[in-house]
Chain A
C-alpha cells in the first residue's frame, strides 16, 4: 500500500473539513477537473457530472463561480467531486462543520444513500448526534481510541451504571448535594434538569427521592432515560482521564 499511493488514492474519495475546491472555478469546471484527476473516462464523465450536480442540487447552477455558493452547497459539491470516480471507500473529515441544520440533514441523507450503495464511508465528527447515524463508532480522546462499537453497543457496554433524569427545584443546591449523595457516580446539569449516573436505576429512584426532600429540594420528576452518545462519551472520557492522566498536553 505504501509503495503504490496513487493506486490507493484511485480507490478512495476524500473530502476535507475546510472547503478545498477551487473557488475561482465554475461548478462544472471543478467537476471536470476532479473527473480528470480521477481519470473518469470521457464517455462516462458527462453522466457522472449530471449525477453529482443532481445530488448536490446544483443542476441549474453549474456555471456559477464556486466561491459564490453558500456553504451547504459547497459541501455537497465537494462530496460530488470526491465520489465522481465511484470510490469504494470515502473519507469525510468533519463534513458538516459550519453547515446549517437543514443542509446537515440533507448531507447525511446523501451519506446514507451512498452507504446503501455499498460505499464504505468514514466520517469524523464532533457532533455526537451525528455519530448516532453511524453503524460503527470509534471514540477518540486525546489521540487515543477510548471505545468502539455500534451506537447501541456503546451505550450498553460503555456506560458504567444507568442514567437518571431529575427535574427539581432549586437546581444549583440540588446538584451540589447530589454530587456527594450515596450511590451517585456522576451528576451534571442538562438543560433545566440533572443527569445522574447511578449503579442501579430503579433502586436509586426511591432513595434519591427521599434524600432530596429531606434536604428541602422539591422533586418534580425522576425517571430512567436511555443515555445519548454524548453521555457515553463524557462518561468514557472522564474515566479515561482519571485512569490515564495527561499524557499528551492539549
Chain B
C-alpha cells in the first residue's frame, strides 16, 4: 500500500466526479430529490378524504351532523348532492371516496328518541383508504350521537349523569411517534433508501468507466495495486456518501420535523458501516459488469427493490411470511433500517443496538472483502 498512489487515485476520482455533470447530479440532486419524493410521496396518514353528502332531511339536526363531518380534519366535503343520481355520479367519477346519506326522517326519529340510521357509501377500490375512512366516519357519528344523548339527558334534568355516558374509555398513549404520523417512520427509512441507492449507484460506475473509456489499459501498466485502486476510488465516494447521509438526516429533522432522539455518534457509526456495505457492493458490480450500463442496472436491482420491500421500510418484517423473513436476514439494509429508526425516534442506546450493529459490521467486512477480491489487474 502506497499513500502517494492512493492519494493520486482519490484526487483523480474527485476531479472526475466534479467535472462530470451526471455524477454531480447523482451526488447532489438525487439524495434531495429522493428525500422529497419519498418524504411527501409515501404517507399512510389519511386526511381530508373527499366526501359527498346528501341531506334528505334538511333539518337543523341533520345539518348539525354534517357540520361534524365538515369540522373533522379527516374529511373534506366536496359535494352536496341533491339526489342519489348526483351522489352516484360523484362516486363513479372518483370525485369523492365516501358519501354520507341522511334519511328524510332523521330529525323526526331523533326527536322521538328512536334509533336512526345514517347511510355511508364508500368507494372500496382502495381498500386501505376505504377501511380507514369508514372507521373515521363511524367515529364522527359516534361523537355526534354521544352529544345527542348528552343533550337529551341534560334536557331531562339529569346533568349529573353526563359522566356516565361513556362508562369505559380507552386512553391510548402512543410512544415514539406521539401523533402517529407516518412521516416519522418513513423519513428515517428514506435516509436508508437514499444511502443504499446513491451509494451503490456512485461506485458502480467507477471501474466500468475505466474499462469503457479504455483508460484501464494505461492504468494496468502502472505499478498501482488493486487495493490502491479500490481504496483510492472508494475514499472520495465515502466522503460524499457521508455528506449525503448527513444532508438527508438534517433535512429529515429540519424540514420533515422528525425527532432525532438518539446520539449522532451511533448514527455516524452505523452509517459508516452501511456505506462500506453499499460502496463495496457498487464497486463489485462495477468490476463484474464491466460496462457502466450493466453495472448500474445490477446496482439498482440489488439495492432499490430489496431495500424498498424487505428492509421493513414500508412493510413490517414480522408480518411477512417466514420464508420472506429469512431472506430479509441477508439484507444489510434491514439491520440499518432498525438502527436508524431507533436512533431517530427512540433514542435507543448503543448497547441495545449491538446485535444489529454487529450484523451490519459483518456484512461490511464481507462485502469489502468481496470487493477487494473481485478486481484483478489483468487485461482480459
Contact A37 B8 (CB under 8 A): yes
Residues of A close to B12: CB separation below 8 A: 22, 25, 29, 33, 36
Residues of A close to B16: CB separation below 8 A: 22, 24-25
Contact B214 A32 (CB under 8 A): no
Contact of B222 among A7, A9, A23 (CB under 8 A): A9
A-facing residues in B151-170 (Cβ within 8 Å)? none
Residues of B close to A10: CB separation below 8 A: 223
Contact B5 A39 (CB under 8 A): yes
Residues of A close to B4: CB separation below 8 A: 36, 39
Tell me if B221 is interfacial: C-beta within 8 Å of chain A.
Answer: yes
| Minimal beta-carbon separation of A218 from chain B (angstroms) | 55
Contact of B223 among A19, A29, A39 (CB under 8 A): A39
Residues of B close to A19: CB separation below 8 A: 214
Contact of B215 among A15, A21, A32, A39 (CB under 8 A): A21
Tell me if A18 is interfacial: C-beta within 8 Å of chain B.
Answer: yes
* Given contacts A7-B223, A24-B20, A36 and B215 within 8 Å (CB-CB): no
A16→B19 CA distance, assembly (Å):
25
A-facing residues in B1-41 (Cβ within 8 Å)? 2, 4-5, 7-9, 11-12, 15-16, 19-20
Residues of B close to A35: CB separation below 8 A: 8
| Minimal beta-carbon separation of A123 from chain B (angstroms) | 15
Tell me if A6 is interfacial: C-beta within 8 Å of chain B.
Answer: yes
Residues of A close to B219: CB separation below 8 A: 37
* Residue of B213, B214, B223 with most partner-chain A CB within 10 A: B223
A189→B7 CA distance, assembly (Å):
59
> Nearest residue in B to A39 (C-beta to C-beta)?
B4
A205→B217 CA distance, assembly (Å):
53
> Nearest residue in A to B215 (C-beta to C-beta)?
A20
> Nearest residue in B to A37 (C-beta to C-beta)?
B222
Residues of B close to A14: CB separation below 8 A: 218, 221
Residues of A close to B20: CB separation below 8 A: 24
Contact B221 A9 (CB under 8 A): yes
Residues of A close to B272: CB separation below 8 A: none
A2→B102 CA distance, assembly (Å):
90
* Residue of A19, A24, A36 with most partner-chain B CB within 10 A: A36
Number of interface residues of B (CB under 8 A): 25
Tell me if A12 is interfacial: C-beta within 8 Å of chain B.
Answer: yes
A33→B233 CA distance, assembly (Å):
13
Number of interface residues of A (CB under 8 A): 31
Tell me if B224 is interfacial: C-beta within 8 Å of chain A.
Answer: yes
Contact A21 B218 (CB under 8 A): yes
A5→B377 CA distance, assembly (Å):
10
A16→B9 CA distance, assembly (Å):
20
* Given contacts A16-B218, A21-B218, A23-B213, A36 and B15 within 8 Å (CB-CB): no
A15→B217 CA distance, assembly (Å):
9
A198→B11 CA distance, assembly (Å):
64
Tell me if A34 is interfacial: C-beta within 8 Å of chain B.
Answer: yes
Tell me if A233 is interfacial: C-beta within 8 Å of chain B.
Answer: no
Tell me if B225 is interfacial: C-beta within 8 Å of chain A.
Answer: yes
A5→B220 CA distance, assembly (Å):
11
Tell me if A107 is interfacial: C-beta within 8 Å of chain B.
Answer: no
Contact of A39 among B2, B11, B214 (CB under 8 A): B2
A33→B9 CA distance, assembly (Å):
7
| Minimal beta-carbon separation of A84 from chain B (angstroms) | 10
A29→B8 CA distance, assembly (Å):
10
Contact of B217 among A16, A24, A37 (CB under 8 A): A16
| Minimal beta-carbon separation of B205 from chain A (angstroms) | 13
Contact of A36 among B7, B19, B216, B377 (CB under 8 A): B7
> Nearest residue in B to A19 (C-beta to C-beta)?
B214
Contact B11 A33 (CB under 8 A): yes
Contact B224 A18 (CB under 8 A): no
* Given contacts A22-B12, A29-B15, A32-B8, A38 and B215 within 8 Å (CB-CB): no
* Residue of B7, B15, B16, B216 with most partner-chain A CB within 10 A: B15
Contact of A22 among B7, B215, B221, B225 (CB under 8 A): B215
Contact B221 A6 (CB under 8 A): no
Q: Per-position contact with B for A75-88: 1 when CB-CB < 8 Å, else 0?
A: 00010011000000
| Minimal beta-carbon separation of A127 from chain B (angstroms) | 22
Contact B218 A20 (CB under 8 A): yes
Residues of B close to A7: CB separation below 8 A: 223
Residues of A close to B214: CB separation below 8 A: 16, 18-20
A23→B221 CA distance, assembly (Å):
18
Contact B222 A25 (CB under 8 A): no
| Minimal beta-carbon separation of A95 from chain B (angstroms) | 13
* Residue of B4, B16, B221 with most partner-chain A CB within 10 A: B221
> Nearest residue in A to B222 (C-beta to C-beta)?
A37
Residues of A close to B213: CB separation below 8 A: 20, 22-23
Contact A33 B8 (CB under 8 A): yes
* Residue of B16, B20, B217, B218 with most partner-chain A CB within 10 A: B218
A-facing residues in B218-243 (Cβ within 8 Å)? 218-219, 221-225
Residues of B close to A16: CB separation below 8 A: 214, 217-218, 221
Binding site for A on B (CB under 8 A): 2, 4-5, 7-9, 11-12, 15-16, 19-20, 213-219, 221-225, 377
**Interface pairs (19), CB distance under 8 Å:** A6-B224, A7-B223, A12-B221, A16-B218, A18-B217, A20-B213, A20-B214, A20-B215, A20-B217, A24-B20, A25-B19, A32-B11, A33-B11, A33-B12, A34-B222, A36-B11, A37-B222, A37-B223, A78-B218
Additional 8 contacts, C-beta under 8 A, given A6-B225, A37-B8:
A20-B217, A22-B215, A24-B16, A25-B19, A36-B5, A37-B5, A37-B9, A81-B218
Give 10 nearest A-B pairs by CB, closest first: A36-B8, A14-B221, A37-B222, A20-B218, A9-B223, A6-B223, A10-B223, A33-B12, A20-B217, A20-B214
